[in-house]
Amino acid sequence: MRLAVTGREGQVAASLVEAARGRDDVEVVAVGRPALDLARPDTVVAALEAARPDIVVSAAAYTAVDQAEDEKDVAFAVNATGAGKVAEAAARLGVPVIHLSTDYVFDGTKDGAYVETDPTAPLGVYGASKLAGEEAVAAANPRHLILRTAWVYSPFGKNFVKTILRLAADRDEISVVADQWGNPTSALDIAAAILNAAARLRNDRSFAAFGVYHLAGGGETNWSGFARHILDTSRAFGGPHATVRDIATADYPTKARRPANSRLSSAKFADVFGWQAAQWRVAAESVVARLMENGRNFYPRLGDGSSNPLLSPTPSGLMPLKDNI
């Protein structure tokens, strides 16, 4: 089975490539710029045709949440038009598409975890562009799985886990928002889920349960609780540690509003595909342990927080912005 995943730099793409390494039953080809550029729809079909996939994984996206408020046209070009073009190309090739979407299609006002049938109501341009992408994918290719996920982290790229560890190496206290709740989700688990679903699509030619699914880590927490667990795990492995101070979203106003509740129920995916992600604490411990194993001097190489898509420095602390899937 050959999967073509859009985007070379994303956490899910990297996790898929790693998950397929050494396996005889699956091959993953990451296709990205300049060969495939979602902002240039004319590049999509030729790039995917060259990859000769059995299934297309649509993972590339525009994820700059605040910047999207000023770049609406670019966000929609990539997340809506571009995503639709990927699904259209898959349809032309006669193969299914697995498209990654986001918790940001919801407004966060529900009391409890969102299910797939809940009404969507994005708060900003980013969420609206991703919702438009879902609609474009569904319209372009009836054989689609749209996987909404949230709070993605991994050993790859820039993400919340790596940023928290880097900051703890430099300071004694880190302030993190405590009034946004969700399901931390390892990109390693997302990759495993995609491979599981892809195998089902390959083996079950009569599969008819195409549509929207939620796919997130087990359990729930807020950003500050996530940060505390990361740092407690780091300390247990002899890594950096800092005190986490709770702050409110209101302590750091942003251009784009964030949903206070990003909790997603993954029960439908578990029921249809017989697979569920690990409990978020266990998955996070695994990623932190792996980062520690990469070398005791890794902290300075975790990246510059000023460019991190998840955290921005504020007068009172730090504010999670968005993961880069």
At 1-33, the pLDDT tens digits run 999 999 988 999 999 999 999 899 999 999 999
Q: Give the separation between CA 189 and CA 169, rounded to whole angstroms.
A: 27
Q: Is 107 left (phi over 0), alpha (psi -120 to 50) or beta?
A: alpha
pLDDT of 220 > 80? The answer is yes
Give the 3-state secondary structure of residue 316: coil
Band of the pLDDT at 318, cuts 50, 70, 90?
low
Average pLDDT of the residues in 260-279: 97
Taking Cα atoms as reference points, which of 83, 98, 8 lies closest to residue 53? 98
Phi, psi of 37 (to 5 degrees): -130, 110
- C-alpha to C-alpha distances, 78 to 96, 110, 146, nearest whole angstrom: 20, 28, 16
Token pair recorded at residue 282: 């266990």
**pTM for the whole structure:** 0.91
Q: What is the pLDDT of residues 226-254, one digit of tens each?
A: 999 999 999 999 999 999 999 999 997 88
What's residue 194's pLDDT?
98
Q: Which two tokens stand for residue 100?
A: 């990654």
Helices marked H in 110-159: 125-140
Cα→Cα distances 273→105, 110, 180, 204, Å: 23, 26, 29, 12
> Residue 247 has what pLDDT?
95
User: What is the gyration radius of the CA atoms in the chain, in angstroms?
Assistant: 19
pLDDT digits (tens, 9 = 90+) for 122-161: 999 999 999 999 999 999 999 999 999 999 999 999 999 9
Residues 6+ apart with CB under 8 A from 298: 291, 292
Burial of 33 (C-beta count, 10 Å sphere; 0-12/13-18/19+): middle
pLDDT digits (tens, 9 = 90+) for 68-111: 999 999 999 999 999 999 999 999 999 999 999 999 999 999 99
Catalytic, out of 62, 126, 153, 252: 126
Tokens standing for 14?
Answer: 């990297």
Q: Are 18 and 42 in contact (CB under 8 A)?
A: no
Give me the pLDDT at residue 8, please: 86
State the Cα–Cα distance between residues 163 and 307, nearest whole angstrom. 11
pLDDT of residue 300: 43
Tell me whether residue 126 is one of the annotated catalytic residues: yes
Average pLDDT, the chain: 91
Query: Tens digits of per-residue pLDDT, 276-316?
Result: 999 999 999 999 999 988 755 444 444 333 333 334 343 33
CATH superfamily to which 2-154+184-219+262-278 belongs:
NAD(P)-binding Rossmann-like Domain (3.40.50.720)
Residues 6+ apart with CB under 8 A from 100: 12, 57, 58, 59, 61, 147, 149, 190, 325
Name the token pair of 201.
């699509």
CA 191, CA 63: separation in Å to the nearest integer? 19
d(Cα 127, Cα 106) in Å, to the nearest integer?
Answer: 8
132 phi, psi to nearest 5 deg: -60, -35
Position 320 confidence tier, pLDDT thresholds 50, 70, 90: low
Residue type, 318: L
Helix (H, G, I), strand (E, B) or coil at 243: strand
Strands (E), the chain: 2-6, 27-31, 55-58, 97-102, 144-149, 152-153, 173-177, 181-182, 185-186, 211-214, 221-222, 243-247, 311-313, 318-320
Beta bridge partners of 174: 244
